[in-house]
Amino acid sequence: MANKMTTGNLSLEDHDPSKSVTTPRENIPGLPDFGWRVKLDYECQEKCKPFTTPRLRQLPALIGLGLRYSSYMLKCRRQGRRPHMDHTNPVYHKPIYGCPVGGIGCGTIGRGYRGEFCRFQMVPGIYEHKVIPADQFIVCIRKNGQTVYQKVLTGSKPKGQLKSWQWGFPLENATYHALYPRAWTVYDITEHKIKLTCRQISPVIPNDYKDSSFPMVVFIWTVENYGSEPLDVSITFTFKNGRGNKEDSAGNCWNEPFNFAEEGNHEVSGVSIHQTFQDMPCTYSLAATRREGINVSHKVYFDPCGSGDDLWNDLEEDGKLDSKADKSQKTRKGQETAAAVCLQCNISPKESKTLEFSLTWDMPIIHFRSKGFKYRRRYARWFGDKGDSGPKLCSYALNNYPDWEHRIEEWQNPILKCSAIPAWYKSALFNELYYVSDGGTIWVDPMDDSYFTGDEDSLPNRIIKEYGMFAYLEGQEYRMYNTYDVHHYASFALIMLWPQLQLSLQCEMAKIIRSADNSQRKYCMHGTVGNRKTINMVPHDIGDPEDEPWSRVNAYNIHPTDDWKDLNLKFILQVYRDYHLTKNEEYLNYMYPVTKILIEAAHKWDTDGDGIIDNGGFADQTFDAWIMHGASAYCGGMWLCALKMFCEMAQKLGHENDRIKFDEILNRGAQSFERKLWNGEYYNYDSSTCGHHDSIMADQLAGYWYMKCSGINESEIFPTDHVKTALQKIFQVNVKGFGNGNMGAINGARPDGKMDISSCQSEEFWVGVTYGLASQMIHADMLAEAFQTAWGNYSVCWEWLGLQFQTPEAYRTSKHYRSLGYMRPLCIWSMQLALEQHHPEFFQSDKS
């Protein structure tokens, strides 16, 4: 019997994709037909909570881990830093988020769909999940010289602050629409026949390695008067210092106004807020464009913690602000500061006008908690690293956003106009991309010339010099940069949209592979002591922002990952896939010696000489709480894929002896894989005799998947009929068996259709794995099954549980989630790759 996930009076068994919040119900002029669209009175259907307690049968194996990890967390707190994973203090779900703002690697600010500024990631990799009441837009409408309407344009109502402001815009009169990196909010002020549309645009553009790195966003307000009388309408943008923590009131912040103009561009006016985050200077700047017929005014300072009456009354008096020219005094300890910029225009009946605002932040030099090295953010190449570029950044944003919009539309429209793919998929594809910028992402240049070792003209040195160093977190809660087993899934977004960032990451990883860190530490699962990093092995991650990434790698300390069976293989798989998609032979040449080291190291895990590597009887791969013994479908399949790809590389580069050697191992291994794991319907979880050895693993064809993505014929390794049969079994049991196919794919299911409860992860739905499975189905010409499978992710996260723009690693039938804001869901771009490889006509016909 299928498991039900009850959602109010409706269960997910009855959920119809055609009735999703994504499906357009009304045509709003100027907005795309597709995206995540909701009324502001939208509420998620169900409450959900973080997963904390495993099943009773799973507890014995986890008690020791819990005790040792608790000891580690206490040590971190004594040192004044946060643990990289804090299972005792998970981030709690807030169903409020919308499209975040900012480019890639420069820090980001989250926005709620009701207008909140609500998640700040200014300090690299560190999040403050706080709603800031003073960060708002305010509308003022005047008629015949009198203010007749003044309201904060948000549905939230803060407690204790800014009591003089009129809060509570009627939620039913506004609609929010997100299609990353853009968002729209439409407000209908019916009593005065005014419609406001706010367009939010960040410069995140594929194959753009300049503007995409800029710390800026623009808000373009279209004011439409559909009444019969002329009105004066003003929009005021308010913003305060800080990021929602105690440091906001540490003092020594000040504001100053500016006017800035460059030849050929519109003049902009605004206010800069100067401050420091963990001894790194940062300047917020808010500004507006000066245009004929539009009045620009500002307020250099108001108290964001007070009643707010000074700003409110000033605005209400004449629809403008006082525009004092002097900068403010520096704040004292315990004091905060805020500023505002206002645009006012007269709107005749049946007329519309445009008001433009920008928000930027200038924080060009950063370091991590350990302060071992300083880095220069990429955008500083064009704006300097003195921290005085706020006005110039605002000017660039306000004068260049039309070009951003044009290029974003050129990128998105062939997909949005494709009638062969569902509306919700278009929303998921672009909106899941939020994580490329909002994943604690850093995009920097090293400031120490000694970083560039060896041949100055080598591939890695040239790539880093031209494109910089790139890193993003495993998750907003799981604070480890470039977690490689997870990046394996997410990397499709980079290689398809910013391929040079993927190559840069790979070059950094190749350098780390050949390094060692023999410092000793205790691993929490079994209490063993070992080296931090073993030479010639792929690390789990490149470090924690609370420590020193790139220098001290492997922040992960649950298992010693030098014995993980998937990390070495995933590097080889990505190298060949990257080559297949970029045709960069220099890259392939450079990486070949590294892949040879890794394939030879991995071959040692073949304990019985049958051509298949063997898992070690502990959780030695990305499912790090789900044990595999002997040959396994997951690691064994990837091993065969790695062998095939290595042989392809050896042949292309003329290393015939290597090809012959590993081709022989591949032939033996392919036979062993079928003999040991194929049961006539699917590949068993592993070749052991343990109770879950014959479980149906959703990700059992991970090796087949990468081979198809890389243009390699898999039938000699994975027989076509076996692949199709296994995928059909997974669809019937792991997908259709839970929530009537509206939940995605559960990681593990038993042959009788029940969930595999042998580990806490086998009974989870992993969003990224589900998207990868859907990609596999597209490669196997199972298009309907692919979209039904992936729909479950969107259904649960974006519609029922309110997890939008914080997509977790995992969720359960019990409505629990784990690890909000996670890297792996970027794997949806592997679906798009599969569609473009197998159905290019979908997009070509619509382009014409």
CATH 1.50.10.10 is right for the domain spanning 564-718: yes
Checking if the pLDDT of 23 tops 90, the result is no
Closest Cα to residue 709, out of 498, 433, 490, 492?
492
Closest Cα to residue 190, out of 174, 206, 205?
174
Measured CA to CA, the distance from residue 477 to residue 126 in angstroms comes to 9
What angle, rounded to 10 degrees, do the helices at 656-677 and 585-603 form?
50
**pLDDT band at residue 32, thresholds of 50, 70 and 90?**
confident
Measured CA to CA, the distance from residue 627 to residue 148 in angstroms comes to 67
% of the chain residues with pLDDT over 90: 85
Is the preceding omega at residue 304 within 30 degrees of 0, hence cis? Answer: no
Measured CA to CA, the distance from residue 246 to residue 66 in angstroms comes to 30
- Over residues 312-337, the pLDDT tens digits come to 999 999 999 999 889 999 999 999 99
- Over residues 562-590, the pLDDT tens digits come to 999 999 999 999 999 999 999 999 999 99
Checking if the pLDDT of 77 tops 70, the result is yes
- What was the pLDDT predicted at 522? 86
Measured CA to CA, the distance from residue 702 to residue 772 in angstroms comes to 8
Mean pLDDT of all residues in 99-121: 97
- What was the pLDDT predicted at 24? 57
**pLDDT band at residue 62, thresholds of 50, 70 and 90?**
low
Mean pLDDT of all residues in 612-639: 96
Q: Kindly report the number of other CB atoms within 10 A of residue 355's CB atom.
A: 24
**pLDDT band at residue 84, thresholds of 50, 70 and 90?**
confident
Q: Which two tokens stand for residue 164?
A: 């003089």
Residue 476 sits at the vertex; the CA angle it makes with 621 and 441, to the nearest 5 degrees, is 95
Handedness of CA 62, 68, 74, 78 (dihedral sign): negative
CA distances from 336 to 136, 246, 274, 546, 660 (A): 16, 10, 12, 26, 69
- What was the pLDDT predicted at 716? 86
Checking if the pLDDT of 222 tops 80, the result is yes
Strand, helix or coil at 736?
coil
> Are 324 and 255 within 8 A, CB to CB?
no
Mean pLDDT of all residues in 342-347: 98
What is the model's pTM? 0.96
**pLDDT band at residue 6, thresholds of 50, 70 and 90?**
very low
Residue 386 sits at the vertex; the CA angle it makes with 132 and 270, to the nearest 5 degrees, is 45
Measured CA to CA, the distance from residue 215 to residue 380 in angstroms comes to 10
Second CATH level (architecture) for the domain 108-409: Distorted Sandwich (2.70)
SS (H, E, C) 144-213: CCEEEEEEECCCCCCCCCCCCCCCCCCHHHEEEEEECCEEEEEEEEHHHCEEEEEEEECCCCCCCCCHHH
**pLDDT band at residue 559, thresholds of 50, 70 and 90?**
confident
Mean pLDDT of all residues in 683-687: 98
Specify which residues 6 forms β-bridges with. Answer: 11
Checking if the pLDDT of 65 tops 70, the result is no
Phi, psi of 698 (to 5 degrees): -60, -35
Q: Kindly report the number of other CB atoms within 10 A of residue 699's CB atom.
A: 26
Q: Tell me whether domains 108-409 and 564-718 share a fold.
A: no
Q: Which two tokens stand for residue 597?
A: 């080291």
- What was the pLDDT predicted at 4? 37
> Are 301 and 311 within 8 A, CB to CB?
no
Checking if the pLDDT of 9 tops 60, the result is no
> Are 534 and 518 within 8 A, CB to CB?
no
- Over residues 148-180, the pLDDT tens digits come to 999 999 987 888 899 999 999 999 999 999 999
Residue-range domain boundaries for the chain: 1-52+90-96+731-840, 108-409, 564-718
Checking if the pLDDT of 8 tops 50, the result is no
CA distances from 505 to 26, 470, 511, 574, 656 (A): 43, 6, 10, 11, 29
> Which residues, other chains included, contact 543 with Cβ-Cβ below 8 Å and sequence gap of 6+?
368, 480, 481, 549, 550, 551, 552, 553, 554, 555
Q: Which two tokens stand for residue 290?
A: 């000066």
